[in-house]
Amino acid sequence: MTVEQTAPDSLPARRLLLVHAHPDDEVIGTGATMAHYVSTGAHVTLVTCTLGEEGEIHVPALSQLAAGQADQLGGWRLVEWERACDALGVTDRRMLGGPGRYRDSGMMGLETNEHPRAFWGADLDEAAAHLVEIMREIRPQVMITYDENGFYGHPDHIQAHRVAMRAAELAGPDGPAKIYWTAQPLSVLRDGMEAFKESESNPFADVETIDDLPFGTPDEEIAARIDGTEHYAKKTAAMRAHATQIPDNSWLYGMAGDFGGEFMGVEYYTLVKGERGPGEGPHKWESDLFAGLDLDAR
Binding site per annotation, positions for Zn(2+): 22, 25, 157
Between CA 196 and CA 130 the distance in angstroms is 41
What count of other Cβ atoms lies within 10 Å of the Cβ of residue 177? 21
106: partner contacted, choices Zn ion, ligand LKMZNTP5, none (Cβ within 5-8 A by kind): ligand LKMZNTP5
| Residue among 14, 15, 22, 36 that touches ligand LKMZNTP5 (CB under 6 A) | 22
Q: Based on the number of CB atoms within 10 Å of its own CB, is 278 exposed (0-12), middle (13-18) or buried (19 or more)? A: exposed
What does the per-residue mask of binding to ligand LKMZNTP5 show for 123-162, with x meaning CB under 6 A? Answer: -------------------------------x--------
Between CA 262 and CA 185 the distance in angstroms is 10
How do strand 266-273 and strand 178-183 relate by DSSP bridges?
antiparallel
Q: Is 25 in the site for ligand LKMZNTP5 (CB under 6 A)?
A: yes
Which residues inside 8-27 make contact with Zn ion, applying CB under 5 A? 21-22, 25
Shortest separation between residue 186's beta carbon and Zn ion, angstroms:
22
User: Which of residues 81 and 290 has its CB atom nearest to Zn ion in the complex?
Assistant: 81
**Cβ 279 vs Cβ 186: under 8 Å:** no
Between CA 290 and CA 15 the distance in angstroms is 9
Contacts with ligand LKMZNTP5 by CB under 6 A lie at: 22, 24-25, 28, 52, 54-56, 104, 106-107, 154, 245
Contacts with Zn ion by CB under 5 A lie at: 21-22, 25
